[in-house]
Structure 1
């Protein structure tokens, strides 16, 4: 160590043990570096692929419905095909069938009974599916069947509704079991079914956000819950027509015997076609017989509305009511209901 007045510099020497000296590693070769990068990339890709598969499996969505129909703004439950297969015990209990669908009884895991409509066919399948989703997805009313959810996986289309324990009005109104008819569909019950059905149609035509033409009102499409409260069902032919009814419908068709003249004459279609169908149905509720019945022995009753109009005009109202309920029926209610039914189908009044 040296010190000087002219040069104040210090020199310090420190001896360090060899074991404490820092070590410098030799950088890896380029081939090893490439191997590390490749292995890391493969591991990352595998992890991302596995994560994507798990997310897809958990949140797999059905193929989109045709964009020409708006998706419902409600929170309908989206069922898987496996869920509905289990709920219906592999579609074992059949409730009924139509031209393009079969309906099966089912039970959800919480015990709720449902009716599962399995749509079939090709041309009508997607059309009917979209119509029912659009029509029922956004509406709720005491006299309209409740749509709980749907399934759309691949080519499968299913709709899930509340189960109606008393079946359709058709099955009870025209049953051959007269004892059952007297016990179940007495006049009071029939009158309430007629009123409830009318309320459901008023809601569709006047009160819901988008006015709806049902298009196929008939006893087969009036379902009865445990209290025999009516629920309009089968909206496969329903049409959203907006608030001003400015669109002319040309493709919807109802059922023979309930089909309004507008469909045949080519006139603009409005909710009046449902009014006509309701009128024919109302006369059937009153009489317990088909409004158009070519098999009847009395030729004057082939077209029941014309015969009924004559009877009411002549003051013979009792003769138009079902003989099984005539004794306990309120004849004034029968007369009023009969007049309403006839006005519904009279072209000049609609």
Structure 2
């Protein structure tokens, strides 16, 4: 993968291949590309985060008379802190999780020079960009209330599926709006599943500043299902208000708790949603209540994700059958 803006050019020498420079695939699909195809494909940088660089890679197969074009998302993982065995064990668990509300892990690579996770490609940008992108740019989208309900419902279902994995012991570790996308039916879809536990732990100051991490989380490699629920609650409140979790003077959760204690819930509700984008005050209040339940300070007071799914689905009962 070579991109002028990414600063990333994988090794293609023989040593890399000997160290495991090949892709391990999941599922029963015919594999239209290999490791060399990926590193030679044209790439566009989608983002750079604490774990590495995310690329949109387009691969052309010209081996037959009909040219086949495949687009995938490649995570170039630069902060892996575990060895090959633990890396492969984690990715094998992730690769077996299949759900409409999760971005599928199609393949991975562990070599001396490259650690890659390859996901199915979703053409729609992240929820974070939809909510907070610059006005007038393609990133920012005026999401109506119906769309926000579908995003919340899908993301809740996806997180519930993650928590079922590995005999019910698996967790996500880094739920935030930049890791949530829209699937083909415009429901929320979670990406980057399970990577937090194999990556370098984020500094405590970063966790606090992000606004997403539960107060008990001091090591992002040791997040829990309870802390996932907290982070998901933040996303619900972000969807509701349209505000970024990391406020300049006060984080979103603290602000909403302050307003709620004054019984001034009207200050929390997004007036644009109510007046122009089909919002229902009753439904918006329900989402606020669910979000606040999820961000309870004490982990044991937060609802189980299965309960959260039912509550979100019941915000509008007609959605439960989707």
1:286 counterpart = 2:240? yes
TM (norm. structure 1) is 0.64
Pair 290,183 (structure 1): closer, same or farther in 2 beyond 3 Å: closer
Matched residue SS, 2:69: coil
Higher relative contact order (CA 8 A, sep 6+): 2
1:94 counterpart = 2:45? yes
Q: Is this contact kept in 1: 2:26–2:107, CA < 8 A?
A: no
Cα RMSD (Å): 3.8
**TM superposition shift of 1:313:** 6.2
Matched residue SS, 1:335: helix
**TM superposition shift of 1:270:** 3.3
Q: Is this contact kept in 1: 2:129–2:140, CA < 8 A?
A: no
Q: After superposition, give the CA deviation of every residue in 1:62-96 in whole Å (9 maximum; x if it has no partner).
A: 6399xxxxx9985685964321023x32x3x1111
TM (norm. structure 2) is 0.69
**TM superposition shift of 1:317:** 3.8
**TM superposition shift of 1:228:** 3.1
- Aligned partners of 2:26, 2:100: CA distance in 1, in Å? 20
Structure 2 unmatched runs, 5+: 1-13, 62-67, 303-322
Match of residue 325 from structure 1: 273
1:233 counterpart = 2:184? no
Rg larger in 1 or in 2? 1
Matched residue SS, 1:192: helix
Match of residue 176 from structure 1: 134
Q: After superposition, give the CA deviation of every residue in 1:36-75 in whole Å (9 maximum; x if it has no partner).
A: xxxxxxxxxxxxxxxxxxxxx9xx886399xxxxx99856
Q: Is this contact kept in 1: 2:132–2:140, CA < 8 A?
A: no
**TM superposition shift of 1:217:** 0.4
Matched residue SS, 2:160: helix
- Aligned partners of 2:140, 2:46: CA distance in 1, in Å? 23
Aligned positions of 1:177-196 closer than 5 A: 177=135, 184-196=142-154
**TM superposition shift of 1:149:** 1.4
Aligned positions of 1:107-118 closer than 5 A: 107-108=58-59, 109=61, 110-118=68-76
Match of residue 310 from structure 2: none
Matched residue SS, 2:96: coil
- Aligned partners of 1:162, 1:215: CA distance in 2, in Å? 20
Aligned positions of 1:1-350 closer than 5 A: 63=20, 80-86=34-40, 88-89=41-42, 91=43, 93-108=44-59, 109=61, 110-121=68-79, 123=81, 129-130=87-88, 133-177=91-135, 184-206=142-164, 209=167, 211-235=169-193, 237-238=195-196, 255-256=207-208, 257-264=211-218, 270-295=224-249, 302-309=250-257, 311-312=259-260, 316-327=264-275, 328-348=278-298, 349-350=301-302
**TM superposition shift of 1:155:** 2.0
- Aligned partners of 2:139, 2:174: CA distance in 1, in Å? 24
Q: Is this contact kept in 2: 1:143–1:200, CA < 8 A?
A: yes
Pair 129,185 (structure 1): closer, same or farther in 2 beyond 3 Å: farther
Match of residue 65 from structure 2: none
Pair 234,122 (structure 1): closer, same or farther in 2 beyond 3 Å: closer
- Aligned partners of 2:85, 2:132: CA distance in 1, in Å? 31
